[in-house]
Every structure is written in structure tokens, then in C-alpha cells.
Amino acid sequence: MIIAQQKRKENIVEYLIYMWHVEDLLRACRFDMDEIEKRIISSYQQPENILQEIRRWYQELIDMALSEGIREKGHLQVNKNIVSELNELHKQLIHSPREMVYGSLYYQSLPAIIQLRSKAGDTQTSEIESCLTAVYGHFLLRLQAKEISDETTESVKQISSLLACLSAKFHEEKEIL
């Protein structure tokens, strides 16, 4: 909860990747609050009132996940909504003549995005969700200490640059509003 709040303020892409990881942690704990307490919450060194907020946050996530039917896979609707917002902003930025840096990053990343989408065989997913999935998948592979090809690492670097710029534009836009 503490990390999520900070990431949401600072970098919306890192926030989403973090929240996707939390969703997977909830699944690994079988949505069992006792298991979450033992594996996750017990590691926090916080005053009791903060621990209570953290427990409540995890319980709310569990409740949402179960009510939304994402026990096995998928993402919380609140996270899907952010992905949609990012995708809409992405579309605006690539069509804006004033956003030459973003456009350049996009066109540099486009071959990697196309290759990623063709490997996944998923043309229904937005480009931004595909990019997020690639970064999250890379994160999981690194976490598992699995071998990652240089080509994949380079593709993820390009995609990460695009997402970093998108995140900055997202936060700029939110500050204006």
C-alpha cells in the first residue's frame, strides 16, 4: 500500500507493474488473508495503525479480485482503467505534431511492439498493454533468474523508454487538470 501510493504519485507505469505483481502475490497466497499476513504484511516495519491500513488495503484488493472473477488470471478493473487512460494518451501523443520526442520513441519501439504482438498472437490488446506485459514479463524472468536474450533485453529497453516518456506525459497532464 505504501509503495503503491508512492509509485502512483511518481510513475504510473511503475505503479501498474507493481500492482500486477501484487495481483500475482494475492494469487500465490490463494487470496487467503492469513497467508498474506504471514508472507507479506509481517515484513513491514510500521506502527500498528499503518499495519491496519495495509491489512485493509490487501483485504479490499482480495474482495475486488474475487468479485471481478480474476482468481486465475487478469487484472483488476481499476488497473485496466489506468491502462485504458494510458492508451488514450498514447494515441493522442503519436498523432500530435508537437510531440516529436514521443513520436520518435514510439517509432523506434514499433518493431519490438509488432514482434511482441505477433509472438503473442494477440491483436486485441492495445499497444500500451502489450508494452506493459513485455516489461512485466521481463521483470518476472529476472526475478526467476531465467536467461534472457540480448534481443529481448534491447527490446524491453526501447519499450521502457517509451513507457517512461508516456508516464511523464501522464503526470504532466494530471498536474494541469
- At 44-89, the pLDDT tens digits run 999 999 999 999 999 999 999 999 999 999 999 999 999 999 999 9
| Percent of the chain residues past pLDDT 90, beyond the cut | 85
For the chain, helix, strand, coil in percent to 5 are: 80, 0, 20
User: What's phi and psi for 97, nearest 5 deg?
Assistant: -65, -15
State the helix-helix crossing angle for 12-28 and 150-176, rounded to 10 degrees. Answer: 120
CA angle, residues 135, 137, 143, in degrees to nearest 5: 105
Q: Tell me: the pLDDT tens digits for 106-121?
A: 999 999 999 888 887 7
pLDDT at 123 exceeding the cut of 80: no
Average pLDDT over residues 140-153: 92
pLDDT, mean of residues 87-112:
96
What's the rounded Cα separation, in Å, for the pair 81 and 4?
16
Q: What is the CA radius of gyration of the chain?
A: 18
How far is residue 45 from each of residues 54, 143, 145, measured CA to CA in Å?
A: 11, 23, 28
Residue 176 has pLDDT above 70, yes or no: no
* DSSP string covering 110-146: HHHHHHHHHHHT-SSS-HHHHHHHHHHHHHHHHHTT-
- Ranges of each domain in the chain: 2-67, 77-176
Please give the model's pTM, rounded to 2 decimal places: 0.91
The set of cell numbers assigned to 45 is: 516495519
